[in-house]
Structure 1
Amino acid sequence: MGAVQKLSKVLTELFVMTWDLWLAALNLLLPKHKSGHVVPAGCPGHNGSWPEYVAPKAGDSRSACPMLNAMANHGILPHSGRNITFRELKRTIHQTYNFAPTFCFFVPAFAANFLHRSYWTGTFDLEDLSKHNAIEHDASLTRRDSALVHDQGKPDLELIKELLAGATGKGPNGEKLLTKQDLSKALSKRRMEAKAENPEYSESLFHNMFGSANSSTMLTIFGGRVDDLVPMLTEERFADNWEPRITSHFGLTMAEFNTTVLPVEFGVQVKKKSQ
């Protein structure tokens, strides 16, 4: 990367972080979205009305991310999962999940960067996002490591069953909820298991933080609700009448998101196997 590109990248990141802090502050002042109106009117999912779910077919492209796959399965992204523009991804994840505009720009721009494509004019297939140690990483809570299972577009039902069975929280009506402590415990176990079973296992602070961030969407966007997570993680579809649990005016900012991600990651405890 040349000096000009490096400077541009730094200035872009500074701008996004500053923008994000402003949105986080405004979220504290502005009214929240009312139930049924978190997804904007005229967009798929408004008032809990999602397009028909169609399971992926042979030749369709899917990623290691259940939330993006669900968007393709419901036709919010092309059902084929192919030739998606980064700008289309930015727009649709904001509308679908109520992530803040900063979040929705940063992640597709990051993907464009590691795929060596233009954010403004480039396209990608969902499977491209499963490039190992970019966004996809070892010790995922919903996939076996890519060194063991090449196709990262399909969920591992055994891992998901174990994850959701570990939910210890309870909602106001007695519904099962995942908690930060539950995720920390699950990540601890997965990292130890993955390291033991995968001879090519790799780990870094960046990928650990990304793993905790991916997992934390279950607590933020889904409110930890197991009933909603079962169809999302196993079939990669939206539950009937579902809408994002983040109702703030500008959506989930990176600053707010980190108040969940950091405790989850700091709660991970990986014990060394005794000799």
Structure 2
Amino acid sequence: MGILSKVGGGLVDLSVIAWDTVIALMNLFTPKLKESEVVPRGAPGHRGSWPEYVPPTDGDSRSACAMLNAMANHGILPHDGKNITFTQLNRTVRQTFNFAASFCFFVPNFSARFLNKSYSKDRFDLADLSMHADNAIEHDASLTRQDAALVPDQGKPDLGLVHDLLEEATGKLSNGTPLLTKSDLSRALSKRRVDARKTNPRYTESFFHNMFGSANSSTMLSIFGGRVEDLRPMLVEERFADHWEPRILDRYGLTMAKFNGTVLPVERGVDVKKYQ
């Protein structure tokens, strides 16, 4: 990427951060959405009514992200996971999970940049997002996937890893429903990073990828409220639980500013030395 492109990208990022801050302030002074009204009327999933789940078949493209794969499995994105526009991803992710508009622009735009594609003109397949590179979002020590060096196809979850993750849950709702907590995720990430370093001779780690790992994990707390009963079908089958809806009730969606309030404590709580 040329120096002008890098500068341009940096200016876009700064603009998105400013935009995100405004949205975060708007959320503070506007009423919350009502439960069952989080997914907008007319969008798939409104009032917890999700399109039929159809598992992927041979030839379908899937990513390392369970949430995007679930959207394809339910037909919210093309079921084959191919020929998707970045603007389509922006719109459908915002409707499906109630991320803020700033968030929904930033991630697809960032993805377009590391894929060397145009955000406004080009298309991609879900598997493209699993590109393993220093400047990309796919990373080693995922909580639901073996490392790409060991399992190149990142489109399917490792059920053993998923089981281990959900078993970490120590929180409970008043009715006894198990919950993952920030401490649970920090502990799971600590163990996973130690194990990945031991089993993957090409293991790589950076602050950038560690933060993405904590961010990916933190969606389980923010969007799913940490509820294991909702996370199990999402992580095992990449399917929306019946009648599920996002747990974010902010009227203008989950901002990056608010999300960082979960991500940073999760990453700060990682202690690999404890498990070495």
The aligned residue for residue 22 of structure 1 is 22
Tell me the distance in 2 between the aligned counterparts of 1:234 and 1:202. 26
3-state SS of paired residue (1:230): helix
- Could you tell me which amino acid in structure 1 is paired with residue 66 of structure 2? P
Tell me the distance in 1 between the aligned counterparts of 2:254 and 2:131. 26
Which digits, 9 at most, give the CA deviation of each residue in 1:75-124, with x for residues without a partner?
00000000000000000000000000011000000110000000001100
Is residue 85 of structure 1 aligned with residue 74 of structure 2?
A: no
Which digits, 9 at most, give the CA deviation of each residue in 1:112-164, with x for residues without a partner?
00000000011000000000131111000000001111110000000000110
Tell me the distance in 2 between the aligned counterparts of 1:242 and 1:115. 32
Tell me the distance in 1 between the aligned counterparts of 2:148 and 2:274. 23
- Could you tell me which amino acid in structure 2 is paired with residue 91 of structure 1? R
The aligned residue for residue 6 of structure 1 is 6
3-state SS of paired residue (2:112): helix
Tell me the distance in 1 between the aligned counterparts of 2:4 and 2:191. 43
Alignment of 1:23-172 (within 5 A): 23-133=23-133, 134-172=136-174
- Could you tell me which amino acid in structure 2 is paired with residue 109 of structure 1? N
Tell me the distance in 1 between the aligned counterparts of 2:137 and 2:38. 27
- Could you tell me which amino acid in structure 1 is paired with residue 75 of structure 2? G
Tell me the distance in 2 between the aligned counterparts of 1:4 and 1:211. 29
Q: Which runs of 5+ in 2 are unaligned?
A: none
Q: Which runs of 5+ in 1 are unaligned?
A: none
Which digits, 9 at most, give the CA deviation of each residue in 1:153-182, with x for residues without a partner?
000000000110110001122110000000
Tell me the distance in 2 between the aligned counterparts of 1:163 and 1:4. 42
The aligned residue for residue 207 of structure 2 is 205
Tell me the distance in 1 between the aligned counterparts of 2:212 and 2:30. 29
Which digits, 9 at most, give the CA deviation of each residue in 1:2-36, with x for residues without a partner?
34323321221111000101100110110111011
Is residue 184 of structure 1 aligned with residue 186 of structure 2?
A: yes
RMSD, aligned CA: 1.1
- Could you tell me which amino acid in structure 2 is paired with residue 25 of structure 1? L
3-state SS of paired residue (1:55): coil
Tell me the distance in 2 between the aligned counterparts of 1:263 and 1:136. 21
How much does 1:271 deviate? 1.4
Give the TM-score normalised by structure 2: 0.97
- Could you tell me which amino acid in structure 2 is paired with residue 213 of structure 1? A
The aligned residue for residue 233 of structure 2 is 231
What percentage of aligned pairs have identical amino acids?
A: 67
- Could you tell me which amino acid in structure 2 is paired with residue 173 of structure 1? N
The aligned residue for residue 218 of structure 1 is 220
Paired residues in the alignment total 274
